[in-house]
Structure 1
């Protein structure tokens, strides 16, 4: 494994190498207060030794117990996440969004705050009178379900007579997934065998979405843990060490989830299924990566020291700087998401940052305590042995690999650095060409869930027999004085099939509106009901002829807003999609440059250079562009995906840039340290050789954990899984291993400008 530590000056007595040199020289650091050679009384020295020995046992034990308690408390919260999470897209819009304002006012006109479910029932032939009578009784029975809030509409036949639709309002405070499942079970048990039913509409799609996220607590964790365990067994070839590293990651996740759960419970953050999945993967991947770095340092320290305490102290000193700097960079990038307008994006920042904090803490406290307790046994059957006297000194190459790819690659890159970096840059630029094919303007709600979806099948049946927007109308709030004028504008739109106004006196709760005014909704000759008026406003409901979640529906909303201006507010499913996509596009346009500037500043402070950070940022951006280009080709021509959410490039950028810089920090801090001692060119080769194995292993672990997201059948998560997994592998195996060292050789000592104390 490799030898990683932050850049310390060669003569720094507090550096990891300073401690190592003292251990290697055969003069261990004193465990008692005072300096060597002091004449403390023997009884004082004995007491100090007993106190130090006591502390070496008690402190690690207390750390282990503290993490065990935290994990024991946090573990049960895996089964309680649904209590504080929400997948309602409207809840994530900013309060200033027009769709949000309309959604908040709907109860004023429609009564109880309910989630509409659309039941579509179809037959192979035209429905008979007996069947219609049976369906009317069925609709009445659905109103008796405890999950139903409000009146269930009578069956509404289609023009072709082969289908009916029933509008069922579900209690917004109920478990939507359970409510939809109860509705589907009731239909399956009471519906005649020659008829087929579907539950669709906003409630149906939300139920399918929640069901798809149901595998996060079990399937996602099992797949991620299994993938990480296999990689760790291959890397360490030890049965015990992978379990120690995995327990570190899982304990970090338990405590992070406990913290996030209570913050969500208090309303400080908003937790969704996709945020939960990303949190799980990010904590497992990051904690494992940081653990790999510490284990590498601890293995080397055990070769320099006989005692566990001295080895632990040296390993901790040598790894704390790199782990803290890398984790802080990721946290800074994630917190930039606080600038997002969408709550789903904004809340991911602090939630994921909390996960990274506990990943770092676990790797720097719980893992060292466990390894100190196990000592060399943790590495069985390949226990590290102390180097023979004289085998290691200040200029020793004892920790450099002598065989394998990391022994040969540094010399090759140094000899051929110019053609190497030119070739890699050309390849990456070629991959960036695919960026033009990335369709990230939003996808229909019906395409969010991959695989079978009853709501999607119901939407298709609905579009076959009814206007495509049935059950998901466009809501228009306007002044009562402008009712007829606004209704006239709606009726002139070719994509709107019908317009009604909310009316409490109407049997159905609404009455049709035509160019002649509000029409009776009851028997012939009955008077037209008065519209429901709230604060001088009325609610119009426009049924679209196209699917409510289609691009055409979004165009209708945009055209209506442009034509009606301040005279009306427009909401509903279609308007929510429009506002969400607009907010996501605004977020990525604003946040991506800010993330670059923040990380660039951190790198300049860390490396004490201007050129090296600019080079690293440039390579990571190039890697990100190539990743998105390849992803666009794969999404369009291999998986034939319908497009992507506008937030996909933003999330991919934040994760890839933050994590890509993470690995470059591990590399460049060691390169700078070696360059101070040996010069830039030798330092680059030594840094690459020493860090190559552990960073590549860390990259494989992170790619495997993010790839595990693809087991959740949600389009957004599958796309993020591919982008991050592929991007991490590209950055780890090509950019960090070849391009960055080659460019470093090209710049030479100018890489560290304005510093002048590092030579070529």
Structure 2
């Protein structure tokens, strides 16, 4: 096949292949929402006591129990009419639903302002839709008025309110992400057509990732939650657009050197393909390290995030080039790169940055290190672990009910602790629970499958230090039993997050280093890149410590924030280091001196890195507009870290370190040796003419 025929056939063949793939994947992508769940066990540690307790409860007669608390409150004190109203409404609810133990008796507060009715039912089982319908029906039947407020709280209502937020993530998250990326691409490309191409390709990649994610769920039981599917979409558009920016920038450069778009694209992919493959490899490797986590939400995010990145990679390396070649040079209108033309030579921002970094590299390096270190001290100001009731940006009814209870019953437990014990030891366990310190009361619950459920009420407020001590003492005393419930789950969540961080972080560092060493053929350059992104992670978390509680009013930090932000910032941040260092290595192979290679690499890739950083930061910043504090905190830290990495670390610190170290940055590779007649330090290829590309 001639070159001209191949140039016509290959893009059309790739386009046809993608049409076939989408037709095959389409039915599966539409089913992803059907397997998405946000149950408690989807976010708990796999091996924790509380998770085991929840799993046993699901198998008891009636299935998983839904626990609610109805809170009747009047500021001036409840009247006799209020009490009759409450009793009548509870009777109505008991008649409409199968409540465990029938209509409960009200528990009055000491000040007479509040009446609490604990309610439990097995009616919904594990069906989230039935649970939500139950909660809404109870809320409709429990109505106040005339100064009497009625709120429905408890773990069941909290799960329903959280589910509403997660359900709202899908559409708004996707639409907002697409809008943000579209605006940035229009500003970057300054073309009425070009911005559409990478955006459409990213949309196709997102559709593909949904189908693959559904397949993983069906084949391996991979957990799909609102959080993990949302992050997958963010990664497809964020990382995918980054790859597109690099490919398009290099393609524009090669169009000045090659007459035919097909040949220009081949040269572009040869030039930037290894960097794109390595950058996606670091992200995928980092995310797959989450499989070592015990926390279900973190472990489930690893495969879905990897699917998103790899689908974006495949689309950007095949579909994007095919579309660009078929559209020809006119896709760049009005700034069309003509064959044989020279790019506009101007002293841009990154040339100025490179000059300042190259003039006093050690000074710049020391100043940047001190700045990042100072910002990292802000981690000391991070608030404590985030409680369940503080995890919403806008306070739902379930949380207001819990806060009312906390004020009305300050010295009394209002949230049950669940103990699952072997059936033949139920009496013994019940006696031990009642005798345990901090226990206000305990009652036998359901029995089935060899297990008996015991409902325990603590003497102290939920998630207080005293209640935590009660749970820990129960676990020590009840050998062979499992202690669960909302407070126990929070304890396990915090403990497991610390354990996961200690295991996953080293795995991420080692996997990323291996990929960087293979790409750059050096030990020093990869260590510089990894040290830089770790410093960025610390600084971004530190800024979070200065902002979360004092400015945003967040009452706590999500226990999983340090680990997830580390994985994303290290894996994604190294991308920009790869773009920079790979170009620096190209220039060095072409015979440039180390300092010149570093400055040329910054000048030619600075615009691409800045554009990519802005897009990636903006996509993660979309999470800050969601309704859950953990997502807001994660989006804030990653977006800020990406910006620090883009405009401080890559432009100044990595460049300064490269200039200061000279050839030693490539040690022990061949480029670390002085150039000479033997050719040990130079390439046999003719030197390439450096071209300034100020913006993609």
Report the TM-score, using the length of structure 1 for normalisation: 0.82
CA contact (8 A) 1:483 1:538 kept: no
Which residue pairs with 1:601 in the alignment? 514
Q: In 1, Cα distance between the equivalents of 2:269 and 2:207?
A: 23
The 1-side partners of 2:356 and 2:81 are apart by 83
Partner residue, 2:47? 96
Alignment partner, residue 404 of structure 1: 348
> Which residue of structure 2 lines up, in the alignment, with residue 142 of structure 1?
93
Q: Could you tell me which of 500, 516, 531 is aligned with 1:618?
A: 531
Matched, 1:191 2:143: yes
Q: 1:76 to 1:294 in 2, by over 3 A?
A: same
1:421 paired residue number: 365
Q: Does 1:748 align with 2:662?
A: yes
CA pair 109-705 structure 1, distance change in 2 beyond 3 A: closer
Q: Residue in 1 aligned with 2:486?
A: 573
CA deviation after TM superposition for structure 1 residue 68, in Å: 4.4
1:235 correspondence with 2:188: yes
| Aligned-partner Cα distance in 2 for 1:675–1:216 | 46
Whole-angstrom CA distance in 1 between matches of 2:442 and 2:262:
77
Match of 1:730 among 621, 628, 644: 644
Q: Please, which moves more after superposition, 60-69 or 227-236?
A: 60-69
Of stretches 476-485 and 717-726 in structure 1, the one that deviates more from structure 2 is: 476-485
Matched, 1:327 2:327: no
2:265 and 2:321 in contact (8 A); partners too? yes
- 1:371 is displaced (CA, Å) by 0.7
- Secondary structure at the aligned position of 1:636 is classed as coil
What's the offset of the Cα at 1:367? Answer: 0.6
Distance 1:66 1:139, change over 3 A: farther
Give, in angstroms, the shift of residue 229 of structure 1: 1.5
Consecutive unaligned residues in structure 1, runs of 5 or more: 1-47, 389-397, 505-531
Match of 1:585? 498
Residue by residue over 1:190-209, the C-alpha shift from the partner in whole angstroms, topping out at 9 and shown as x without a partner, is 63533432221111111111
Tell whether the 8 Å contact from 1:446 to 1:549 is kept in structure 2 after alignment: no
1:337-381, Cα deviation, whole Å (9 max, x unpaired)? 111111211121111111111110111111111111111121111
Note the C-alpha offset of 1:634: 1.3
Structure 1 residue 215: Cα displacement: 2.4
Structure 2 contact 561–630 (Cα < 8 Å) conserved? yes
Look up the match of 1:640.
553
SS of residue matched to 1:457: helix
Deviates more, 1:350-359 or 1:83-92: 83-92
Aligned 8 A contact 2:62 2:123 in 1: no
When structure 1 is superposed on structure 2, of 109-118 and 125-134 the one drifting more is 125-134
1:251 matched to 2:204? yes
What is the alpha-carbon distance in structure 2 between the residues aligned to residue 132 and residue 79 of structure 1? 49
Is this contact kept in 2: 1:180–1:199, CA < 8 A?
no
Within the alignment, does 1:456 sit opposite 2:399 as a pair?
yes
- Structure 2 distance, partners of 1:412, 1:400, is 22
Instruction: Please point out which of 627, 630, 655 is paired with 1:716.
Output: 630
Cα RMSD of the aligned pairs, angstroms, is 2.8
User: What does residue 44 of structure 1 align with?
Assistant: none
**Structure 2 unaligned runs (5+)?**
676-696
Q: Aligned to 2:605, which of 674, 679, 691?
A: 691
**Aligned to 2:443, what secondary structure does the other structure show?**
strand
Match of 2:684 in 1: none
Judge conservation of contact 1:497–1:543 (CA < 8 Å) in 2. Answer: yes
Distance in 2, Cα, partners of 1:451 & 1:191: 22
Matched, 1:56 2:21: no
SS at match of 2:635: helix
Checking the alignment, whether the CA contact within 8 Å between 2:419 and 2:481 is kept in structure 1 is no
Tell me if the contact between 2:92 and 2:141 (Cα under 8 Å) persists in the aligned partners: no
Which residue pairs with 2:248 in the alignment? 295
1:552 and 1:85, CA in 2 relative to 1: closer, same or farther beyond 3 A? farther
Between 295-304 and 721-730, report the one with greater CA deviation. Answer: 295-304
Taking structure 1 as reference, are residues 132 and 702 closer, same or farther at Cα in structure 2, changes over 3 Å only? same
* Contact 1:339/1:346 (<8 A) preserved: yes
CA deviations 1:170-192 (Å, max 9, x no partner) are 64456536643553355436635
- CA displacement, residues 146-174 of structure 1 (integer Å, 9 cap, x when unaligned): 8x676653352424374241514264456
- Alpha carbons of structure 1 residues 73 and 456: separation in structure 2 relative to 1, 3 Å: farther
**Between Structure 1 and Structure 2, whose CA radius of gyration is higher?**
1
- The more displaced of 689-698 and 576-585 is 576-585
TM-superposed CA distance for 1:55, in Å, is: 4.2
* Contact 1:631–1:723 (8 Å) recurs in 2: yes
Note if 1:558 corresponds to 2:472.
Answer: yes
Tell me which residue corresponds to 1:218.
171
* Alignment partner, residue 115 of structure 1: 66
Partner of 2:103: 153
Q: Are 1:400 and 1:689, in contact at CA under 8 Å, matched by a contact in 2?
A: no
- When residues 533 and 161 of structure 1 are mapped into structure 2, their CA distance, relative to the original with a 3 A threshold, is farther
Distance 2:632 2:669 in 1: 44
SS of aligned partner of 2:479: helix
**CA distance 1:199–1:63, shift in 2 (3 Å):** farther
In structure 1, which of residues 378, 382, 402 is the aligned counterpart of residue 331 of structure 2?
378
- Report SS of the residue matched to 2:632: helix
State the Cα deviation string for residues 717-750 of structure 1 (Å, max 9, x = none).
1011111000000011000000001011111111
Contact 1:290 1:360 (C-alpha < 8 Å) held by counterparts = yes
Which residue number corresponds to residue 266 of structure 2?
313
Q: Sort the Cα spacing of 1:314 and 1:551 in 2 relative to 1 into closer, same or farther, 3 A.
A: farther
Contact persistence 2:602–2:655 (CA under 8 A) = yes
Give the direction of change, closer, same or farther, for the CA distance of 1:84–1:647 in structure 2 (3 Å limit). Answer: same
